[in-house]
Chains A and B, each alone.
Chain A
Amino acid sequence: MTYESHLVELPEDAPWSEKPGESVVDQGDTDQIPEVDVTEQDLAETGEDPTNWLIMGGSYQSQRHTTADVITPENAGDLEVEYRLEVADHPNDFQGSPIIVDGDPPIMYATVGPDLLYAINARTGDILWRHFYRPLVGASDATPPAERGAAVLGDTVYKSTLDLGVIAIDRYTGEERWYYNGAAAYRGEVADDLMHEELKWERSRGTTSSFPPLIYDGMIMKGSFGGEFGVSGFFDGISLEDGSPQWRVNMTPEHEWVGDSWEHGGATAWASGALDPDEGTVVIPSANPGPWYGTVRPGWNPYSCGKVAVNTSDGEYQWHHQDSPHDWWDYDSPSPPVVFEAEVDGETRKFTTWPGKTGWVYTVDMETGQLHQRSDEYVQHLNTFNLPPYDDLDSAPWIMPDLIGGTNPQPSAYDPETRTLVVKGTNYPIKFSWFETEYQPGEIYIGMDTVRKTEPVQTEPGEQREGDEVHGDDEEEEDQENQQYLSEEVEEWNENAGVIAGIDPISGEVKWQNWFSWQVGPPWGGSLTTATGVTFAGGPGGYLHAFDTETGERLAQHVVGNHGVDGAPASWYDPNEGKQYVAITGGGGNQVEEEGNTIAVFSLQE
């Protein structure tokens, strides 16, 4: 099997630098932003530098680990609220982290759906400017796509846009510098106008490529989304100098798919990658294959549902790993990988590790791509990989994990001291059945029946999970149809909606699990570890939780807001204040009903 020929032609005559949408910039007191030149060296060292958080994942390696040491297991309950900031016009769905550029004051850059970027005084919460990019194709106001962060270098801050572009913005003023139009060409075909026809649809909640682009060695890298719209995934390397495309990886390498099925094959690269800066390798998460009917796309369907490692300089293939080859269950692999070093058999080796929607943690040799370990389960498995029967929900077994996971786009955190990967997982049973529909032209039907179980059978009035009793008409009708199944007991289910777990990625041992009951729903968003042994993670009940990283002991919880906390924490030390800060974005409309739009910042004086 050869994967070398996976690069897509980049037509020179495509409108790569033309912006399809419009920008609106609101400026406040921009003079508060101190002049700090963020260098690539700063990016490389941000994981070790306690005073900043320059990359959404905390470092190139995406370990989400801070060396700031004011907060310890002993004082994690003493954090104070610095401010809670409400941003955007509507409750939202955060799934990433703000970034923090050190200075006096430190400046926070945070993104909010749809396509809003804020510059904020991280010390006071003052909004200094706001850049609103309105994409050419509609972004749903009702369900704005989740936002996951920005990237920074020099005097520029970068954001992925909903129409598959990257916008470079003056980080002092909020004004545009350049735009990269990722929709200028598709499958080597130049767009008729500014966006290729097959890349236009309404952007809504879910798997948008709103993860921040990755910056490394003069290159900025960005993925794609739209697998549910039949898009064949791609991942771009763009020159930082002028925003021109350098290479594009075809995430569905055509010679490994039957006939032309690759052209509709999904495997989009909507989630955030990690980098091994020593080797110049980027590890890209990949989404599920399309369409859902596996029998039209026989074979492994590379690179869907896994990770693919490529050279940052030229996009050339290094290795790939599929969590779920030839997938039927939506077990894509969006959780960002973590790159780390560990000693094995007396030898220091480099690995990358991630939790899958499949409910296991995979640890892969960074050089070769060979699996070193698959962990024990951290969520429940039940009839896993059973195929959905054809037009027959009666015969369909309850399956776990469900189509949400396992772990979805939630970024994990790693603690090198205790060799602990902190992961979040969802733990619901589901029934699938695929069916041939009696369709009418112009009407849309779902080609797959799914019944998700989020409550046990025996619930008392008032005991329902918050939000589950609130329905639109369609949901109510569907509920009635599915009531017979929802009243089935799933004896094997432990009736917990999700978990935060600590796992040794080398041994595969699940060290600890903190479960969240079905009443509150699953934890979403990401986590953070500190050098002092504390893990921070948001939860579904509106809290920022603190755990002991080694044991999982619950140390404290702090109120973010009266909604889910789907963001991922970031932390920094401000030497001028003598404080360590923890920021987390609180949205949460994905798995719990209560949405929000809070950026909460806590601190502890040394």
Chain B
Amino acid sequence: MAYGTNPAERYSYGEVSDEDRRDFLKALGVVAGGAVAGATLQDLRTEVSSGAAEGLAEMGEAVQNGLTGTLDATLLSEQLAALEGSFEMLSQLETMGVPEQDASAYQELTTAAWAINDHLSEAGFFASAEENLPAFAPAHIEETTRQLLHMDALPATLSEVGFSDEEQTALVMNIVNTREQLSWWMKTGDYPPADAVEDGVVREYVAPLHQRAAEGSLLWIDGLDHFLWQREPLVTSEMIDRGLWDVKSMLGGYYLMGSAARDLAKGDIADDQLTTLTTASTALMIIGQEFLISDVVRITDDKRAPRNSATN
């Protein structure tokens, strides 16, 4: 994977290096020195100011006002509880390695998330988010990340589903350190239209940005049972390990989004935090799937398991 800023070199698999942290802080305008590995979100919070939240609050309010249906707090709570169980299954998947034919272990991770997804879609959540939130421009990523660091509840929420302190930090850093690739995911109306651009986009067939991120994540996870089984001759343990981090990141993103929706249904979330969590969770799902593709799906010769030339 290569882009202008090569986020592949800055993506963290749950462990935070000094360089990752420096890149992250630099992007947020903080020049850091010295050894800083093992940082927690709390540590980062002390170095990064929260910034202004007024704009984020307005957006959050607009997202809420743009809903076309009612969010069901009970449904969301139940499905979030079920989704917590998916995180517990990840270690079993590591042990499992390459799935057997017709296995469904990866698909089982997403059952609850699909239920949340369908509900959010029916309530117009995704459409409202796209309508009222900016796409992933650097300024918006920076602003929401500052807010994210200063959300008291964030570490607790992520801890609920098994993210260690260092993994939590890696999640947040990945949002900032892979921001260029995030910017490729545009709002539907920003893609060049097919009637003006050869190979352009027929917008009526394109789902809202946040829905693409969310459902894309679930589709990628669902397909892993089949893909890993089918490509067994190419698959390595490193691919599975990295893929599991990507999957965990996506599910973590989904859990944050679902939690924000549940709190919104309860009237228990500030407007700016709704914006922050919707943006951050969407970013995590985008990043997770982009890196899953790179880590597991696109298998170059240098990545593949050695060719077994066994013949008769």
Contact = CB atoms under 8 A, between A and B. Distances in A.
Nearest to B215: A258
A509 B186 CA distance: 43
B121 to A, nearest CB: 9
Contacts of B217: 298
A483 B223 CA distance: 42
Contacts of A389: 2-4
B226 A387 contact: no
B162 to A, nearest CB: 25
Nearest to B300: A384
Contacts of A69: none
A246 interface: no
A85 interface: no
A258 B309 contact: no
Given A374-B304, A447-B192, A439 B293 contact: no
B211 interface: yes
Nearest to B217: A298
Contact of B211 (A257, A259, A343): A259
Contacts of A376: 301, 307
A286 to B, nearest CB: 15
B26 interface: no
A402 to B, nearest CB: 16
Contacts of A290: 199
Chain A contact residues, majority secondary structure: loop
A122 to B, nearest CB: 39
A203 to B, nearest CB: 16
B92 interface: no
Interface in A403-430: none
Given A258-B212, A374-B307, A445 B219 contact: no
Nearest to A387: B1
B1 A386 contact: yes
A369 to B, nearest CB: 6
A77 interface: no
A395 B3 contact: yes
A525 interface: no
Contacts of B181: 387
B226 A264 contact: no
Contacts of B2: 383, 386-387, 389, 395, 397
B199 A446 contact: yes
Given A264-B205, A373-B233, A343 B225 contact: no
B198 A444 contact: yes
Most buried by A among B107, B183, B216, B227: B216
A345 B309 contact: no
A1 B226 contact: yes
B185 interface: yes
Given A300-B223, A344-B311, A445 B212 contact: no
B297 interface: yes
A270 B199 CA distance: 18
Contacts of A507: 309-311
A129 B234 CA distance: 52
A291 B200 contact: yes
A396 to B, nearest CB: 8
Contact of A230 (B194, B213, B304): B194
A368 interface: yes
B28 to A, nearest CB: 23
B126 to A, nearest CB: 9
B54 to A, nearest CB: 29
Contacts of A296: 188, 191, 201, 206, 212
Contact of B232 (A370, A384, A444, A504): A370
A1 B202 contact: no
B46 interface: no
Contact of A291 (B194, B231, B232, B301): B194
B220 interface: yes
A24 interface: no
A373 B307 contact: yes
Contacts of A326: 293, 297
Interface in A257-306: 257-261, 263-264, 290-293, 295-296, 298-300, 302
B219 A293 contact: no
A390 B219 contact: no
Contacts of B233: 371-374
Contact of A447 (B195, B199, B212, B222): B199
A299 B198 CA distance: 23
B37 to A, nearest CB: 29
A116 B198 CA distance: 29
A343 B312 contact: yes
A169 B125 CA distance: 56
A428 to B, nearest CB: 18
A444 B223 CA distance: 36
A372 B312 CA distance: 13
A441 interface: yes
Contacts of A444: 196-198
B118 to A, nearest CB: 12
B212 A259 contact: yes
A600 interface: no
A447 B223 contact: no
Contacts of A390: 3-4, 180, 183-184
A259 B207 contact: yes
Nearest to A296: B206
B219 A447 contact: no
A585 to B, nearest CB: 30
B193 interface: yes
B207 A260 contact: yes
A155 interface: no
A444 B192 CA distance: 11
Contacts of A386: 1-2
A440 interface: yes
B87 interface: no
B13 interface: no
Contacts of B311: 344, 504, 506-507
B289 interface: yes
A581 to B, nearest CB: 35
A371 B98 CA distance: 13
Interface in B218-255: 219-220, 222-223, 225-227, 229-234
Contacts of A381: 300-301
Contacts of A295: 184-186, 212
Contacts of A457: none
Interface string A334-371: 00000000111110000000000000000000001111
Interface of A: 1, 228, 230, 256-261, 263-264, 290-293, 295-296, 298-300, 302, 321, 324-326, 342-346, 368-377, 381, 383-387, 389-390, 392, 395, 397, 436-437, 439-448, 504, 506-509
13 contacts: A260-B204, A295-B212, A296-B188, A299-B215, A325-B227, A346-B312, A370-B101, A373-B308, A374-B304, A385-B298, A437-B192, A441-B196, A506-B311
Given A298-B216, A447-B192, 9 more contacts: A230-B202, A258-B219, A259-B215, A295-B212, A325-B227, A343-B312, A387-B3, A440-B196, A445-B196
Q: Which 6 A-B pairs have the closest CB atoms?
A: A298-B216, A259-B207, A299-B219, A439-B196, A385-B298, A507-B309
Interface of B: 1-4, 101, 107, 180-181, 183-186, 188, 190-202, 204-207, 211-213, 215-217, 219-220, 222-223, 225-227, 229-234, 289, 293-294, 297-298, 300-301, 304, 307-312
